[in-house]
Amino acid sequence: MSTLKSNLSRSQQRTICSQLGTVKLKLLYKASEHGFTGAAFHQRCDNHSPTVSVGYNVSGHVFGGYTAQPFSQTGHYVNDDQAFLFTFSGDQLLKYHVASATHAVRMIRNSGPYFGEALVLVNGSTPVVYSNPGAHYNFNAAEMHGNDLNLTECEVYRVEATTELERPWRTVIWDSYEKRTELMETIRTYKPIARSVSQIRVLMIGPVGAGKSSFFNSINSVFRGHVTSHAISGSSTTSLTTQFRTYTLKDGRERKPLPIILCDTMGLEESKGAGLDIDDISSILTGHLPDLYRFNPAVPLHSEAHNYQKSPGLKDKIHCVVYVIDACKISIMPSKLEEKLEAIRRKVNLLGILQLVLLTKVDEACPSVKEDLRNIYKSGYIKEITQEVSARLGVPQYCVLPVKNYSEELELDINCDILLLSAVIQMLRFAENYFEELSDRMSSNETKD
């Protein structure tokens, strides 16, 4: 099945769309492919609206019309006060608004797009233009099409609403194996500036089902070279993680440890006494909570417990906190859950630990991203979600990182990997900033003493 290729340049498409709002054009009918006949036009375009019809002639003019009404074969005129004709003069679009809205478009069986009695593309099932300035539209024929009535092409586009932005709001190098290799090598060779620390510890916090464990599995998959699973992940209304787990990322078949540990916690729940306890968060942040500690939402860990680490070093503490948020659920996040996140954020701030947000399931939240992950930073909708997360969680927008975890895939995807690895790089950078700030504070205290 061949893919239709538009004769309109990207610049021309943007110019037309700028007249119609936040929209994109989907090509329905191309006369050179489907036939210069009324039957072929109606077969592909009837009942679609709004539409933009475009004619191209031998002398190089590009012109046509817009209607908000769907095409049919009734033979009647339809009322459309939004209709207009247009032509391109260089990069500029010249518009001619309908003068008689009740006669804006006529539905003729054996012809193509039929704008009043003023302009017909594919007239009587032949590749010619019918032109009659002043018949319900006022235009200059020489200006419109250079008085050249011989069509070389006719296209009809459906106008579709879109959140896709003209320019990406963040820059990413896509489809680059070199970029993926560079990111992986940066992570492999990273060495913390704090001498007592060989691996940075990143605490992952988020509601049940947001994708904390899935993120670890996804990063692990990238470095293993195939989709794999280690941490328990899946769909549940209650947390699948019941223990405090520290996962060391490992590289390749040799399983060489990478300089980052992802710390997984019990999922947050809105109910009091359910999910991760905020007091346990404090113990995790300060390095008192041991690996494999089993959470008890009713009774947080206390200093007299037999497995309480009484004298943790810097290597045992958390160096960066990452909130994992489902992009599909941020707008319906319960207020109680938001309050818990705010309480946690205050505790983290007091310790001077920097915080990031992973925005997961972006492909489920936005159809254009599901269609092509490279649309993630062209999506106005994802940008709006990022702004909402920033406002509701109280973190700067640059700290919100949209990612896609591996869920149903059997093979790795280079663009998915680039987003995931870029997120890990930000964690390393934020941990580095934490060590620098800690060193500055210690130096300041020594100076005072």
pLDDT, residue 233, reads: 52
Q: pLDDT for 53-85, tens place per residue?
A: 999 999 999 999 999 999 999 999 999 999 999
Closest by CA position to 28, among listed 57, 59, 50:
50
Give the count of alpha carbons within 13 A of 175, CB side only: 4
Residue with tokens 């936005």: 366
pLDDT of residue 449: 52
Percentage above 70 pLDDT, the chain:
90
Give the CATH fold of the 177-448 domain.
Rossmann fold (3.40.50)
By mean pLDDT, which of 125-129, 293-297, 380-384 is the weakest?
293-297
The pLDDT of residue 265 is 82
Mean pLDDT of 335-346: 89
Cis peptide before 290 (omega within 30 of 0): no
- Across the range 115-144, mean pLDDT stands at 93
Kindly provide the b/e burial profile for residues 100-134, where b requires at least 16 CB atoms within 10 angstroms of the residue's own CB: ebebbbbbbeebbbbbbbbbbbbbebbbbbbbebe
Per-residue confidence (pLDDT) for residue 239, from 0 to 100? 46
φ/ψ of 99, rounded to 5, equals -95, -30
User: Percentage of the chain with pLDDT > 90?
Assistant: 65
Of 12-26, 148-162, 393-407, the one with minimum mean pLDDT is: 12-26
pLDDT at 235: 46
163 within 8 A of 379, measured Cβ to Cβ:
yes
Enumerate residues 6+ apart whose C-beta is below 8 A from 8.
Answer: 16, 25, 54, 62, 155
Torsion angle, alpha carbons of 343, 349, 354, 360, to 10: 10
Average pLDDT of 318-323? Answer: 96
Long-range contacts (CB closer than 8 Å, 24 or more residues apart) made by 15-19: 15/88, 15/91, 15/92, 15/93, 16/52, 16/66, 16/86, 16/93, 17/159, 19/66, 19/86, 19/93, 19/95
Mean pLDDT value across the chain: 88
Q: Determine the residue type at 40.
A: A
Output the six-digit token pair for 332.
């319906």
Per residue in 140-157, is it b (16+ CB within 10 Å) or e — as a string?
ebeebbeebbebebbbbb
User: How far is residue 383's CA from residue 366's CA, in Å, rounded to a whole number?
Assistant: 11
Q: Where are the domains of the chain?
A: 10-161, 177-448
Which residues are CB-neighbours of 261 under 8 A, at least 6 positions away?
199, 200, 201, 202, 246, 247, 248, 249
At 226-271, the pLDDT tens digits run 998 765 554 444 445 567 788 888 898 778 999 999 998 877 776 6
Q: In whole angstroms, how large is the CA radius of gyration of the chain?
A: 30
